[in-house]
Structure 1
Amino acid sequence: MTELLTRAYSPGGFRKQGHALIDQLADYLEDVNRLPANPYATPEESLERFRQILDRRTTPHDVFAEVIAESVHLHHPEYMGHQVVPPAPVAALSDLVSSLLNTGMAVFEMGRPGTAMEKLVIERFASLLGLAPTADGFLTSGGSLANLTALLCARAKHGPADRPCLLVSEHAHYCIERAVRVMGWGEEGIIHLPTDAELRVRVDQVRPLIEQARQEGRTPIALVGSACTTATGTFDPLEELGQVATNYGLWFHVDGAHGAAVRLSPQHRHLVRGLERADSVTLDFHKMLMVPAITTGLFFRDGKDAYRTFHQRAEYLLTEGIDEDWSNIAKRSFECTKRMLSLRVFTLLSAYGPQVFQDYVDGVANLGSELARLIRQQPDLELFMQPDINIVCFRFVHVSLPAISRDGVNEMIRDRLTRSGQTYIVQTRINGQVYLRCTLTNPFTTVGNLEKMLLKVASIGHDLTALRYRIG
C-alpha cells in the first residue's frame, strides 16, 4: 500500500474533510441570499479558472469552495430558471452515503438496501398518485430514459406492426420525438396533435388523426399526454385522452416528469384527473419533489408490463427464474450499474412523511399564481396564460414598441439579467414569439423577490425601448 493510497482512503482524513464540507455547505445555505443567483462566466473563462485550480493542485476544501461560488444557486430566492428543485439537505446527504458505498443496483445481492427502498418508494408513490393496486415500476436516471423505456414497453406489448407510430402534442418534450427515432420509427413514427390557445391537446382532433393514420397504412400504438408541457407548464386533458386510448386500444403514456406530482395536492390534483387511466407514467422527483437530479420514477398500471422491455440472458449477472423478479432491477431497467436513487426519496419520506411533498407543491404553485397576478398589474408586461402550476411565461410589450421589435427586446432583457447574475430567468418561444419564462422551484422565494424581478425586467425593457428611439 503506497502512502498516497493510504492518505486517499484514510478514515481520519475523511472525517476531517467531511466535517469541514458540511460546515461549508451549511454556511452556504445560510448565506446564499447574499450571492448572485447565477454567477456569470463565459465557457472560456470557466475553463481557464478550473485549469488554474488543477495546475496548482489545491485542497479539496478550496475546490469545493470554488465549485460552490461558480455554480448556479438553486437555493437563492431569485433563481427562477430551469425545472430543477433546490434539494432538501437531507436528500443531498443521502448521496454522500450512496457515493461512498457505491453499490450497484442491477442485482439484489449487490444493492440490498437500495433495492428494498426502491420497492417501497414505488409502492408508496403509486398509492399517493392514486394509481391502481396492480401498479409497479422502478427508478431510473431521468425522464428521457423513463419515457423511452415506457414506449419500448408499449411497442413490446403491441407486438410486430407495419409502420408503427404514436400520437403526442406538438408541444410535448422533445425526448418523445427522440424516443421515436431511437426505436427506428422515423419521421412518420410521430403524429403531432394540434393544441388550443393555451397549448392543450385538442381532443376533438385525436380521433380523426388516428383514423387517417390507419387509412394511410400506419399503425398507431400509443397516445402520449403531457402533465405538463416544458415550455408553458400546460396540462393536457388526461381523462379525455385516456378514454380515446381505451376506445382505440392504444397504450396511454403520461409524461408527468414535471407535473404528475400535483396529484399529491388536494388543491391542484384536478390538473391530472385521469392519471390513473395511464398504462405508464413518468415522474421526476428532481423537478417537483425536493430530490437531487436525476431521480425519475417510471410507473406501470399493470406491474407485469414493467418486465416487457428488457428480457435477455446474462449468466454472469442474472440467474434464470421467474420474469417478474422485482429484486433484480436489471430485468426491468435499461441501467445496469445504477446509483442508489431510492435513498434520496426514502430519507425524505421516512423523516417528514408525504405531507412535506404536498407542502412543497402547494408552495411553488401558489408562487406561480402570485407572479401571474403581479404581471397583470404591470401595463408593459403581457402574461401568456394563467399558469396551471409553477411555470409562468410573459413578455415586455411597451405600447411604443412595434411587434416586430418585441422578440429582440425580450431576448436582450434576458441576456442583461443573465450577465448581471443577480436574477436568473430563461426564455422560450411560443407560437414563434419570444417569451420570458420563470419556473418557481424555490419555496422560500417571496412576493418581494417576484416584484424585484419584474421591476428589473420592466426597467431594462424601458431602457432598451428608449435606446431604440434615440438610435432611430
Structure 2
Amino acid sequence: MMPLLAKENNQQKANDSTKFSFLFNQEEENVINYKKGVISATKRIFKFLKRRKKPFSGIQHEKMRTVFEQININKQPLDEQFVMDELESIYLDHAVAFHLPKYIAHLNCPVVIPSLIGEQILSAVNSSLDTYDQSAGGTFIEQKLIDWTGKQIGFETPDGVFTSGGTQSNLMAVLLMRDAFYHKRQQHDVTMKGVSQAKGRLKVFCSECSHFSIKKSAALLGLGEEAVVSIPVSDQFVMDTEALESAILNEYINGNCPIGVVATAGTTDYGSIDPLNKIATIAQRYQIWFHVDAAVGGGLLLSNKHQYLLAGIEKSDSVTVDYHKTYFQTVSCSGFVVKDPNALNLISHHADYLNPKDHKDAGVPNQVDKSLQTTKRFDALKLWMTFRLMGTEQLGSYYDQTLELTKKAATIIQNHHQFELLNPPALHSLVFRFKPENMNDNQLNSLNILLRKKLFADGEAVVAGTKFKGNYYLKFTILNPIMTEENFEEILSILSRIGHQIVEEEKNIA
C-alpha cells in the first residue's frame, strides 16, 4: 500500500504537470498539446482556403466593433472548440484573402509554402537574432542572405540586417545620412550631443512620389518633416534630376546642409523607378548619402529578364528591400543593406550584459550591433527556406510573371472605353478611374470614391484608391502570378456594373 506522503507527492506532480501543460517543451503531455493545437489550426486554415470564394466578406468596421464590444477577456481557460469557432467567426471569416486573384489592391503578395514552413519553425524555436549566443546558426543565415542581396545589388562587401519592413529600413537610411554627415563633415558627436542646427538645417531630398516613411523618419530623428525636400517628377512619375540638383544648390545658398538623397525603385502608386545613375552622379558630386528605397522594386534582383531596370543601384550607399512584397514571403520580412559595413558603426551601442565591446573585437557576430531592434525575429529563416526549397530562379519566374501580367492588364484597361489609365506599366501598379462620358473631375471623384466603397462592401473584389493632382483614382497592384487576363476583365466588369448602378441611382435622385 502506497504511503500517504507518496500519494500526496504524486498528486502534486500531476497537478504541476497539468498546470504547465501549455508550455512548449519536451514533456510528453506538452508535445501532445502542441500537436493537437497545430492540427486544429491547420484544419481551420484549410477550411479558410476551401470556403473563401471572394477576397473579403464585406463586413464594415462599425459592425466589427460592435462584435468585439461584446467580448470579455477571460480569467479562466475556455473550451478549445469554442475558441477556434470564435476565431473563425471574428477573424477567418472576414480576413482579406490575399491569395485570391480578385484581390488586387495593396502590396500584399500571396505567400509561398516554404515561407510558411519557415514561419512554423522560427515561431516554435523562437530564436532572437540580436546576439550570437541566442541564435548561433540563425545569425549566419541572416548574414548570408544579406550578403546575397548586397552582391545582387552590386556591393563588394555588403552588410546589413533584416528589419520589420520598409519603414524601419528607410528610418535606418535617414539615420545613417544624418550621423555620417555630422561625423564626416562637422565632427559633431550627434549620439552624445544630439541634433545641432548651428551650421544650418539638415536637408534630405526625394521625389514627390516617394514613400511617406522618409518624412516620418525625418520627424522621428529630430530633423522635422520640413527637412525633406520633395522634388517634382516627370510625366513618367520619375524624379526630375535637373530639379534635384537645383534644389541642392538652393539649400546651400540658403545656408542649409544637404545630407542625402533618396531614390525610389518602385513607387507605391506607379511602380516608377527614379533615374538611379543620374541621381548617383549628383550625390557623388555633392558628397551626400545616396539611398535607394527598393522596397517594391527589390524583386528585380531575382529577375534575369528585368534586373537591368535597377542599373545604378550599385552606386548607392544603402538599399531597402521588402521580401514580403515581391519575394512572396509572409509578413514581416525586409532587409536594409549597406555598401560599407563600417557605416553601421555609427549606430552601434554596446551593453555589457548583451553585446560588450570586446565581443566585436573578438569577431563575435552580434546583429544587435547594427540594428535598431534588440529582440528581433528570425524572419530570415523564411527566405532561407524559400531559396533552398525553390531556388532563386523559380522564385524569379514568379516575379517575372507578375510584371507580364501588369502589362496585359494595362492593355485591357486602355482598350476599355469606360476606363482611363493614368500611368504606363512600370512594375506592378496601375492607376486608373472609371470614366463615363460627360462628367467633370469633381463628379468623377465622387463617383470613383463611392465605387470603391461599394466594391469593398460587396467583397467580390478588392482594389485600392489614391489621388493624383487632387483627383481620385482606383489602383491595381498585381503581385499574384496565377492571375489571368480573364480575372482583369472580370474585375473591370464588376467595377463597370457598380459604377453604372451609381450613375443611374444619382439620375433617379435628381
Same fold (TM over 0.5): yes
Name 1:155's counterpart in structure 2. Answer: 178
Structure 1 residue 210 displacement after superposition = 0.8
Please list the CA deviations of residues 53-77 of structure 1 after superposition, one character each: whole Å capped at 9, or x if unmatched: 6679342543553432220001111
CA–CA distance in structure 2, aligned partners of residues 409 and 96 of structure 1: 44
Match in the other structure for 2:369: 331
| Selected match of 1:111 from 135, 138, 147 | 135
Are residue 123 (structure 1) and residue 169 (structure 2) matched? no
Distance 2:417 2:170 in 1: 41
Query: Which secondary structure does the structure 2 equivalent of 1:316 belong to?
Result: coil
Correspondence list, 1:438-457, <5 A: 438-457=476-495
Deviation at 1:448, TM superposition (A): 1.2
Equivalent residues in 2 for 1:221-240, closer than 5 Å: 221-240=259-278
| Structure 1: unaligned runs, 5 residues or longer | none
Segment drifting more, 357-366 vs 424-433: 357-366
Residue 201 (1) aligns with residue 239 (2): yes
Deviation at 1:11, TM superposition (A): 0.8
Task: Quickly say closer, same or farther: Cα 1:281–1:5, change in 2 above 3 A.
Answer: same
Amino acid corresponding to residue 244 of structure 1 in structure 2:
I
Q: Report the secondary structure of 1:6's partner residue.
A: coil
> Is structure 2 residue 356 aligned with structure 1 residue 319?
yes
Contact 2:296 2:321 in 1 (8 A): yes
In the aligned structure 1, how far is the partner of 2:477 from the partner of 2:298?
16
Matched residue, 1:211: 249
TM-score, with structure 1 as normaliser: 0.94
Within 5 Å, give how 1:15-34 maps onto structure 2: 15-29=35-49, 31=50, 34=52
* Corresponding residue of 1:3: 18
The yes-or-no answer on 1:290 pairing with 2:290 is no
Q: Deviations over 1:241-273 (max 9, x none)?
A: 111111111110011111122132133223222
* Stretch deviating more after TM superposition (284-293 or 397-406): 397-406
- CA offset at residue 320 of structure 1? 1.8
Q: Quick one: which amino acid aligns to residue 34 of structure 2?
A: F
What secondary structure is seen at the aligned counterpart in 2 of 1:208? helix
Q: 1:46 to 1:412 in 2, by over 3 A?
A: same
SS of the equivalent of 2:21 reads helix
Pick from 23, 35, 58 the counterpart of residue 40 of structure 1.
58
Specify the alignment match of 2:111 in structure 1: 87
Q: Tell me the residue number matched to 1:380.
A: 418
Give the secondary-structure state (helix, strand or coil) at the position aligned to 2:134.
coil
TM-score by length of 2: 0.87
Is the 1:304–1:324 Cα contact (8 Å) retained in structure 2? no
> What is the DSSP-based 3-state SS (H/G/I as helix, E as strand, rest coil) of the residue aligned with 2:20?
helix
Q: Secondary structure at the match of 1:299?
A: strand
Task: Please list the CA deviations of residues 365-394 of structure 1 after superposition, one character each: whole Å capped at 9, or x if unmatched.
Answer: 111111101101111100001120111110
Aligned CA distance change for structure 1 residues 217 and 157 (closer, same or farther; 3 Å)? same
Following TM superposition, by how much is the alpha carbon of 1:290 offset from its aligned partner in structure 2, in angstroms? 0.7
Change (3 A) 1:40 1:196: same
Distance 1:260 1:323 in 2: 33
SS of aligned partner of 1:120: helix
Contact 2:350/2:369, CA 8 A, preserved across alignment: no
1:138: how far off? Answer: 1.2
Return the alpha-carbon distance in structure 1 between the equivalents of residues 361 and 248 of structure 2. 34
Name the residue aligned to 1:220. Answer: 258
- Relative distance call for 1:323 and 1:52 in structure 2 (3 A) is farther
SS in 2 for 1:422: coil
SS at match of 1:191: strand
Q: Counterpart of 2:299 in structure 1: which amino acid?
A: A
Cα distance in 2 for residues equivalent to 1:79 and 1:211: 45
* Residue pair 2:48, 2:93 contacting (<8 A) in 1 also: no
What amino acid maps onto 1:311 in structure 2? S
Change (3 A) 1:41 1:324: farther
Shift of residue 15, structure 1, vs aligned partner: 1.1
**Contact kept in structure 2, 1:17 and 1:61, CA below 8 Å:** no
Task: Using the TM superposition, give the Cα deviation of residue 235 of structure 1 relative to its aligned residue in structure 2, in angstroms.
Answer: 1.3
Q: Which letter does structure 1 place at the counterpart of 2:509?
A: I
Distance in 1 (CA, whole Å) between partners of 2:362 and 2:445 is 53
> Displacement, 1:187?
4.0
Q: Please state whether the residue corresponding to 1:70 is helix, strand or coil.
A: coil
For 2:161, the aligned partner's letter is F
Instruction: Give the Cα separation in 2 of the matches to 1:281 and 1:313.
Output: 25
In structure 1, the residue matched to 2:12 is none
Q: Tell me which amino acid in the other structure corresponds to 1:428.
A: T
Instruction: Specify whether residues 134 and 311 from structure 1 end up closer, same or farther in structure 2 by C-alpha distance, changes over 3 A only.
Output: same
Matched, 1:341 2:391: no
Cα deviation digits, residues 59-109 of structure 1 (max 9, x gap) = 254355343222000111111111121111221222222122222211101
Q: What SS does structure 2 have at the residue aligned with 1:271?
A: helix
8 Å CA contact 1:395–1:410 kept in 2: the answer is yes
1:283 match: secondary structure: strand
Within 5 Å, which residues of 2 pair with 1:428-467? 428-467=466-505
Is the partner of 1:109 in helix, strand or coil?
helix
Counterpart in the other structure of 1:143 = 166
Tell me which residue corresponds to 2:431.
393
Which of 103, 113, 122 is the aligned partner of 1:98?
A: 122
